[in-house]
Amino acid sequence: MASISIKNPDDINGMRVAGKLAAEVLDFIAPHVKAGVNTAELDRLCHEYMTNVQGTIPAPLNYCPPGYTPFPKAICTSVNDVVCHGIPGDKVLKNGDVINIDITVIKNGYHGDTSRMFYVGEPSILAKRLGDITFECMWLGISRIKPGAHLGDIGFVIQQHAEKAGYSVVREFCGHGIGKIFHEEPQVLHYGRPGTLEKLLPGMIFTVEPMINAGRREIREMGDGWTIKTKDRSLSAQWEHTVLVTETGYEVLTVSPGMPPPPAFIQQSAAPQSVTV
């Protein structure tokens, strides 16, 4: 098994900067997510903001893991039944659509990675509940992060919460270690058993990014080689933060003024230093 890198104080500061910038792209794009806009326009706006305003590099653009063709855009836009890795294009958003926008920027060599759900106009009750439960899943997973805990603890609480609500957890994609490399060890599964997998140590940085389906968990890959949809065409939702394991718990690195606050039950249970804004 490949080793999990422990970040030093300089790395952590670099990751704080990158994480904050990634979250600020989501703040910037939020007002533009409305009926009538197409996803290519959202990509163009984000790309220009990253390169011209922030001086960041969009990590997804031309990203090419083994076996893939290069990803052609700066952001991922996953609409309705798209689970992840939706390629921006001529898809026009309409009232009632839900969209996950996934942002990864590179600043001074460090990657900041975060995503949010957005509602176009008034979402259906089903779509809103799925988005809310997925948001809670992410934060419940984050709340388990502390030295001595295990990666399985994170996956377990996410799976329990999603399945209790009648939803399913996508298994083929997971969170990941991140730093100067976009995707590194460990893999952060969003299902599992407590007390299993790697033990958490201070200085680890990874993403928690559950993908939750309203229907069954099975997925299908589109012909572009990137876009993943639910097999049964049910809605899917995802939220993502990049998180540091601290000496006493966790610190969310992808913070910004427009970031939705944690659910009340997380704020009540989290130590004051857990979320740095």
Q: What is the mean pLDDT of the chain?
A: 95
Whether the CB-CB separation of 240 and 259 falls below 8 Å is answered with no
pLDDT at residue 235 greater than cutoff 90: yes
- What's the helix, strand, coil split of the chain in %, to 5? 30, 25, 45
What pLDDT digit, counting tens, does each position of 126-146 carry?
999 999 999 999 999 999 999
Question: What is the reported pLDDT for 270?
Answer: 46
pTM metric for this prediction = 0.94
Whether the CB-CB separation of 240 and 217 falls below 8 Å is answered with no
Rounded to a whole number, what is the largest CA-CA distance in the chain? 48
Mean pLDDT of 236-260: 97
Residue 171 is given by DSSP the state -
Helix axes 151-164, 125-143, angle to 10 degrees: 160
What residue ranges define each of the domains in the chain, with the CATH number in brackets? 9-269 (3.90.230.10)
pLDDT at residue 269 greater than cutoff 70: no
275: tokens are 């979320």
Mean pLDDT of 213-222: 97
Whether the CB-CB separation of 212 and 238 falls below 8 Å is answered with yes
Rounded (5°) CA angle 258-112-59: 115
3-state secondary structure of 28: helix
100: tokens are 């996950």
pLDDT at residue 24 greater than cutoff 50: yes
Question: What is the reported pLDDT for 268?
Answer: 54
